[in-house]
Amino acid sequence: MGLDSKTIKHIASLARLNLTEKEGEKMKTELSSILGYIEQLNNVNTEGVEPLFQTTGLVNSMREDNPPAGGRGDFEMDEQLNGKLIGQAPDKQERFIKVKSILNK
């Protein structure tokens, strides 16, 4: 499947990418190759093949999430060490390090 430059520019804008002309051409080539491979996979006859969604046979390999009554998990920090670490931060509030917001409000 071939992609045109207009489609590549649209995809780049959706991904918030500013591509040079050379980068756009490279992306066009690479995406066309990927879509060609996917087209080949779509043409594979899978009739009679049972769908596979996992291979290990394990049902649930994760443990139960049971936090202790204290609510801090199994991590207990030495208060003296905590004070030293927080003390090195340029901006702090009580026992927390303050950082600049990265989210727009």
Q: Has residue 23 been placed in a domain?
A: yes
pLDDT digits (tens, 9 = 90+) for 39-67: 999 999 999 998 888 888 877 777 887 76
Report for 3-17, 65-79, 91-105: range of highest mean pLDDT: 3-17
Let me know if residue 103 belongs to a domain. Answer: no
pTM of the shown model? 0.47
In eight-state DSSP terms, residue 3 is -
Give the residue numbers spanning the domain of 30: 5-42
Q: Is the pLDDT of residue 71 over 80?
A: no
For residue 59, tell me if it sits in a domain: no
Instruction: Classify residue 64: in a domain, yes or no.
Output: no
pLDDT band at 75 (very low <50, low <70, confident <90, very high): low
Residue 86 lies in a domain: no
Residue 37 lies in a domain: yes
Report helix, strand and coil shares of the chain as percent, to nearest 5: 40, 5, 55
Amino acid at 17: L
pLDDT, one tens digit per residue, over 26-39 is 999 999 999 999 99
Q: Whole-angstrom Cα distance, residue 69 to residue 51?
A: 43
* CATH code of the domain covering residue 18: 1.10.20
Is 89 contained in some domain?
Answer: no
Question: 31 in a domain, yes or no?
Answer: yes
The total number of structural domains that make up the chain: 1
